[in-house]
Amino acid sequence: MIDLLAAILMALFQGIIEWLPISSEGQLSLLFVTIYGLEEIPAVTLALFLHLGTMISVIWYFRKDLIEMVNLNSPTLEIMVLTTIGTALTAVPIVLVFKNYWESFTDSLWLPPDLLFTSIVGCLLIITGIILSKQSDQGTREFLSLTRTEAIFLGLAQGIAALPGISRSGMTITFLLIIGIMHKDAFKLSFLISIPAVLGATGLEFILEGFQLKLTGMSVSTVFFPYPLLIFTIALTAIIGILTMDLLLSLKDIPYDKFCYSFGAATIILGFLFFLIRVVSA
């Protein structure tokens, strides 16, 4: 069961790094695997759960835009629907394969699952760095100029970020910048389309029984949250997200691609070092 201190640390972690294109899901999953000793599937499920808090932050931040979308003829609403369809086409198969085959796949390997998972996340962080290095600020288009085909492909790019270590915002913002969308509009649309993506992922977890409601609380995979702590964790994540969103989105000059390169390489190296230490001390 998660205690109060762990809940606060998780809320701080998610509420801050969600706005940076460095894969909060990958970072959180690594934290849960290496520090808390969770298995890989529960770690990813728990990381997804914390996105509910930052989703509330996005809803609050863009509340005016969302209210305007009540009009069913809203072009923004059409973009979000098409993007959500595209996201489902890539994200759902990735999630199903990971949940259904991860354990059986790792059972047949000599590498321990936590080391393999750490290595994969490290490699995906390096790939995220490569993607981020392709960003440009030269766009002149508004996001409402997206064609239906572009909206579907934007969703396909977002769905790939179901892989822990691939940054959702990094994938979507880079795609939008490549097709000429202005930097400000790219950020705005990237976070707007995250709302249905998180809701859809949460619904899928309930279907797959990653989230289970019980009499006294909710189980997030193998981790149990009493309802008061559940509400506290989501609310604190949302508050921290609201407080940090403006600041962190303004940090455009940070070389996130180099951060992902170095952090990804360090993740792989440290994973193998910890594995060798366990082997020697066994």
Does pLDDT of 253 surpass 70? Answer: no
What does the alpha-carbon distance between residue 262 and residue 224 come to, in Å, rounded to a whole number?
A: 34
* Tens digits of residue pLDDT in 204-237: 999 988 899 999 999 988 889 899 999 999 999 9
| Average pLDDT for 58-78 | 87
Question: CB-based burial of residue 151 (10 Å sphere; 0-12 exposed, 13-18 middle, 19+ buried)?
Answer: buried
* Tens digits of residue pLDDT in 33-60: 877 778 888 888 999 999 999 999 999 9
Does pLDDT of 100 surpass 90? Answer: no
Does pLDDT of 282 surpass 70? Answer: no
* Tens digits of residue pLDDT in 139-172: 789 999 999 999 999 999 999 999 888 889 888 9
Q: How many CB atoms lie within 10 A of CB 222?
A: 13
pTM score, two decimals? 0.86
The structure tokens 């619904």 sit at 203
More confident residue, 253 or 166: 166
| Average pLDDT for 88-98 | 94
> Phi and psi of 215, rounded to 5°?
-60, -40
Q: Quick one: CA dihedral 60, 65, 71, 77, positive or negative? A: negative
